[in-house]
Amino acid sequence: MSRFPPIPRANQTPEQQECHDFIDESTKLYGDTFTQKNSDGAFLGPFTPVLYTPSLVKNWIDLNLNISKLLSPRERELAILAVMSYAPAAYGLYAHVRLSRKLGLTESQIQDAKEGRTPKGLSEKDEMTYELARELARLRAPLSNESFAKAEKVLGKEGVAAVIHTAGIFLYSTIIFNGADVPLPEGESI
């Protein structure tokens, strides 16, 4: 059970209801790829704890959506799986494994990515995106000049910046998942 119980819309403050509606509209792009609400219509996943800080919801969602446009969907999911190989979060893995499958990653590639191994059969750009995001997630000091130059050669300066932003926002999200102890939806597995 999450440390922040889901709040049915009928029990939300007016500010939370406004945020609920904003989240609802913003997450339609995922369709039914993964469960986002419980049987009461209350949001699950990272949306449960963020509704407890409604003043941050719109900015957090907008930042996530803007960053998600910096990479191709496949590159984004590889970067997210790379981050979660270092900072796993149950609901995050549940959702992003499903999104990765939908984008054509194989079960073997997904398993390797979750376990911190560069998946086989990726393009050079996909491989570099994964490796850079994985290294960024593990950093406790500046990225080395060698790693930056290697990534820049394949991704370009804008591509490196895009991976940095993607890894950063998802590290932030894993802290939300794990700090709130966000569970998997009932009856679901990774």
pLDDT tens by residue, 20-72:
999 999 999 898 999 999 999 999 999 999 999 999 999 999 999 999 999 99
**Which of 41, 67, 93 represents a domain boundary (last residue)?**
67
**Residue 184 lies inside a defined structural domain of this protein:** no
Give how many domains the chain has, as a whole number.
2
Residue 120 burial by CB count (10 A; 0-12/13-18/19+): exposed, middle or buried?
Answer: exposed
4 is a domain residue:
no
Q: pLDDT band at residue 9, thresholds of 50, 70 and 90?
A: very high
CB 163 within 8 A of CB 136: yes
pTM attached to this predicted model: 0.95
Does residue 75 sit in the same domain as residue 169?
A: yes
pLDDT band at 164 (very low <50, low <70, confident <90, very high): very high
Specify whether 60 is located in the same domain as 96: no
**What is the rounded distance in angstroms from the CA atom of residue 128 to the CA atom of residue 152?**
9
Beta strands in 62-180 (DSSP E): none
Longest dimension (CA), the chain: 54
- Residue 1 in domain: no
Q: What is the pLDDT of residue 23?
A: 95
115 CB contacts (<8 Å, ≥6 apart)? Answer: 85
Is the predicted pLDDT of residue 107 greater than 80, yes or no? yes
